[in-house]
Amino acid sequence: MRILFVLFILASGVIQTFSQPIRIHFMGGFANYGGDIQQKSITLKQANGVITAGATINLGNKFAIRSDYSFAHLGADDLLNNNPKTVNRNLNFRTIIKELNLMAEYTLYDLAEKKLSPYVFAGVSGFYFAPYTHTATGAKIYLGPQGTEGQGLSQYPDKQMYKKIQFALPFGGGLKYALSDDVHLGFELGFRKLFTDYLDDVSTTYADETFLLNGRGQTAVDLAFRGDELKINPQPYPAAGTQRGNIKKDYYYFGQLRIGFRMNWFDNGNRNARKVSCPAKV
């Protein structure tokens, strides 16, 4: 996370050299994820919200360096899936995502000449997550320390506790509309390629119930499998080694409306050099 701050500060220095404008932007929209509990690739089902604030440093009429800070909610519930095996597992989670990124952004058309243009972006980010759930009695429990798949137990040396701060690769694209030279509107869809499969606390296989009970306690056992909580056709705890999740890495994505403002005081007093009339029609 500190590296991203340092890179953004260095990029801010570049702007003073090239006398190019800085734009700040604010975004908001939906956030969702793909993984073991949300099994559709892209969907609004079980979506939550995200808000973002950021800035772009223009290095030309089309290319910019961009940094955003996003605050999002993610979550999903097995009971809202269609697969009977998934429903019988009866797991659920929620988490807050706090993300800081540094990206390159390329706009296909110069918005000083055309009102509308597609754009793409890609870069690197660091994010914080901490999946949690509520017990049958309503108590809020963070899942990471529970080691629900036997992480950290001597019987499972290949299963390690996962870290709450991870790196990701953000990428995506959208459309920008120049309301004026100073104000841009837009919409974008951005994906995050993750390097963890524990965004939802589900990844590999069930730990032995006795090992988990002795090593982590009854709460860990209760949250590792919740099919016994079903009112209709409750299920017993699965045999050790039974598949609990898909080992493919999780991912999350944002769909956001965007409004950006040009910060004129960063133009080194050379406002007229970039001043243009309202963009011509496409």
Judged against a pLDDT cut of 60, whether residue 123 lies above it is answered with: yes
* Whole-number pLDDT of residue 21: 80
**pLDDT of residue 259 exceeding 50:** yes
Asked whether the predicted pLDDT for residue 14 surpasses 50, the reply is: no
Q: What is the mean pLDDT of residues 19-38?
A: 92
Q: For position 175, what pLDDT does the model report?
A: 98
| pLDDT (tens digit per residue) in 88-114 | 999 999 999 999 999 999 999 999 899
The predicted pLDDT at position 39 comes to 84
Residue 56 reports pLDDT greater than 60:
yes
pTM equals: 0.87
pLDDT at residue 115 is higher than 50: yes
Work out the pLDDT band at 15, boundaries 50, 70, 90: very low
For residue 46, the model assigns a pLDDT of 96
Q: What is the pLDDT of residue 273?
A: 41
Q: Write out the chain in H/E/C secondary structure.
A: CHHHHHHHHHHHHHHHHHCCCEEEEEEEEEEEEECCCCCCCCCCCCCEEEEEEEEEEECCCCEEEEEEEEEEEEEEEHHHCCCHHHHHHCCEEEEEEEEEEEEEEEECCCCCCECEEEEEEEEEEEEECCCEEECCCCCEEECHHHCCCCCCCCCCCCCCCCCCEEEEEEEEEEEEEECCCCEEEEEEEEEEEECCCCCCCCCCECCCHHHHHHHHCHHHHHHHCCHHHCCCCCCCCCCCCCECCCCCCCEEEEEEEEEEEEEHHHCCCCHHHHCCCCCECC
